[in-house]
Amino acid sequence: MLTNKYIVRASVVGTIIGGAVILKDYISSGNCPSKATIEGKTAIVTGANTGIGKETAMELARRGGRVIMACRDMGKCENAARDVRGKTLNHNVFAKHLDLASTKSIKEFAKHILKEEEHVDILINNAAVMRCPHLVTEDNFEMQFGVNHLGHFLITNLLLEKMKKSVNPRIINVSSLAHVVGDIDFEDLNWENKKYNTKAAYCQSKLANVLFTSELAKRLQGTGVTANSLHPGVADTELGRHTGMHKSTFSSTMLAPVFWFLVKSPKEAAQPGIYLAVSEDMAGISGKYFNVLKEKEPAPQALDQETARRLWEESAKLVHLEEALKECES
């Protein structure tokens, strides 16, 4: 027979677990409040084979869109696209090659989309690499700045004329709260003359996402195309693969309860991007930064219009934007 002592202990443990679950639900909360469907619309999601990108593609497919999953590894991409088609029963889900670490690949992808797609309504610039060792892209850009910022800068610009022909087209740049400690070093954007710092390089690239969004929105005024950026929340994805913490014994044993408590699932972290892409509330909203589902002022350095303008000009020079636009037109 249970004594009173055990009953009291069991109820205390039950209350703690119940409280933790409620608090966890609160921390993770933030489902896209819109039920809008996107039949007839075409959406491109970069880095869609895993993590937040895959869940974003899944939800856009569930809402009836034609979804192009743009990834660098075609094996992973085909598998993910098959999974999305199977789970959503939407057969308009396609795997396409896009390596953001190669301007050649970006131009090939753009040429294909410009030729094959009647319209592009949603572009979600999601892919990223975080805190990798000092690597360079095919064009000798520092990897995090090259993939996270320059690659998305180029692909967005190459698809813009096509997007302008759509009804209420939307561009969503997935940034991060990490932008708040970011700094744009115009003297050395590609880390050629200073000691490499993996964290500062990631933060620079995520600040660049917010600055790019703001300048893009400014240049798009009057075209009908909107551009916004967001922080998705902290999620359990493969993003930490270069940090040593990802899937380590320490993180999967000692830190697991903390992670469970504080970290979202990729599906939960996909909600802000879905909201910005589909919600009726977001029609006509442009140039804003969202912390999960709420519009928020980004860090002061992300509001500096002169920095945003200069970053655009430097980025255009680095990726040879004018030549790339001519090449993709022809």
Ligand X SMILES: NC(=O)c1ccc[n+]([C@@H]2O[C@H](COP(=O)([O-])OP(=O)(O)OC[C@H]3O[C@@H](n4cnc5c(N)ncnc54)[C@H](OP(=O)(O)O)[C@@H]3O)[C@@H](O)[C@H]2O)c1
Applying CB under 6 A, which residues contact ligand X? Answer: 46-47, 49-53, 71-73, 76, 98-101, 126-129, 147, 174, 176, 231-232, 234-235, 237-239
- Residue 13 burial (C-beta neighbours within 10 Å; 0-12, 13-18, 19+): exposed
Q: Identify the residue whose tokens are 């300048």.
A: 215
Q: Identify the residue whose tokens are 């708040």.
A: 180
- When the beta carbons of 65 and 182 are compared against ligand X, the nearer one is 182
- When the beta carbons of 66 and 72 are compared against ligand X, the nearer one is 72
Token pair in block for residue 165:
């022909």
- When the beta carbons of 210 and 278 are compared against ligand X, the nearer one is 210
Please, where are the H alpha helices in the chain? 4-28, 51-62, 74-88, 103-116, 143-144, 152-164, 198-219, 249-253, 256-262, 266-269, 271-278, 305-318, 321-329
**Is there a contact between 143 and 137 (Cβ–Cβ < 8 Å)?**
yes
Closest distance to ligand X from the beta carbon of 69 (Å)? 9
Query: Maximum CA pair distance of the chain?
Result: 84
Catalytic one among 6, 26, 196, 202? Answer: 202
Give the strand pairing for 42-46 and 289-291: unpaired
- When the beta carbons of 32 and 129 are compared against ligand X, the nearer one is 129
Contacts of 159 (CB under 8 A, 6+ apart): 44, 110, 113, 114, 120, 123
Give the other-Cβ count within 10 Å of 150's Cβ: 28
Closest distance to ligand X from the beta carbon of 90 (Å)? 20
Q: 3-state DSSP helix/strand/coil percent for the chain, to nearest 5?
A: 50, 10, 35
Closest distance to ligand X from the beta carbon of 276 (Å)? 13
- When the beta carbons of 15 and 147 are compared against ligand X, the nearer one is 147
196 flagged as catalytic? no
Residue at shortest CB range from ligand X:
51
Residues with a known catalytic role: 202
